Amino acid sequence: MEREIKLIWDFQGPFAQRTAQHHVIHLKEYVQIEKFPINIIDTQELSQTHHIAYMVVNDQQMKQIRDVLKPHRGELFER
């Protein structure tokens, strides 16, 4: 089974939640346009003023998506 990688975009401040939610819209648009079979794109609250938008990709997709969308960081995704 291929490794799954969680690409993460961090948003901080009083509007972090709304900004992360809006970023997810653009991530979903990109996936649709490029026809990537990616199903996990969401937001997560880390604190009241720190939210993330994230996308879970496999090893093959990671390099292309990373180079185009420039996530702030990544980590292994565990189900």
Per-residue pLDDT tens for 7-66?
Answer: 999 999 999 999 999 999 999 999 999 999 999 999 999 999 999 999 999 999 999 999
Beta strand segments in the chain, E: 4-12, 41-47, 50-58, 73-76
Map residue 72 onto helix, strand or coil.
coil
| pLDDT for residue 1 is more than 70 | no
Amino acid 70: pLDDT:
98
pTM: 0.94
Amino acid 28: pLDDT:
98
Give the bridge partners for 13, in sequence order: none
